[in-house]
Each structure stands twice: as structure tokens, then as C-alpha cells.
Amino acid sequence: MHLAADNVTDIRYGNLAMTANIDLSAPCEHAANIKIHHVKRPAAGCEDCLKIGGQWVHLRECLTCGHVGCCDSSPHRHATKHFHTTQHPIVVSVEVGENWTWCYVDDRFLSE
């Protein structure tokens, strides 16, 4: 299920942000439990890094609760830590130009 993105103005940044549907063209058994079906790219930042003054490389959004965390290339790896703490299995990239989803439990991409 891959649908086109809608352009919206993001007043916080004064530039163009995109609200996009989630691509689950190769779903796993955990995909039926996601609650988030649209994400805004780019995301504002890693929620946990913003609290501690940390830095991030790329951002991932949890499709169960909407938590935005930093990727495993970032110093604190908050997205993966969020999975280990909550067991929420699926994240999506919230980087402009990226439209993939990942299942931590199955260790695979869910979009083609």
C-alpha cells in the first residue's frame, strides 16, 4: 500500500514539509497493530536528544505510539532503545526522500 504524499506548509520551519502515508507494501504480522498511518517529513527532531541536548543523524518514528527517535548511526540510538523498552516493533524513516518501514522483531524492511 504506497500512496502519494500531500504537500503542506510547515509553519515551524517556514518551509515545505510533506505528510505521507506509510508504505507497507511487504507487511509482516506486526503491521496489523500499527496505529500511525501518516508521518510528517522532516520530523522536528529526536524527542530524547532534544531533552538532553544530544545530536542525531537520522530520525525514525514509532508506528505504535508516534515516538520520534534517532537512528543507530546517531550517538544515542534512541529509536532502537525505544523498541527495547516498549516492544513497539515497527518504525518508519521520517527523513525527506526516504519512504521505508522497518520491523525490529523480524529484522527486515516492510516496504519495497
- Give me the chain's average pLDDT, please: 85
d(CA 65, CA 97): 23
Residue 35 has pLDDT above 80, yes or no: yes
Percent of the chain with pLDDT over 90: 63
d(CA 42, CA 86): 24
Domain architecture of the chain: domains with CATH: 6-109 (3.30.40.10)
Higher pLDDT, 99 or 46: 46
Residue 14 has pLDDT above 70, yes or no: no
Higher pLDDT, 20 or 74: 74
- Full-model pTM: 0.83
d(CA 63, CA 55): 22
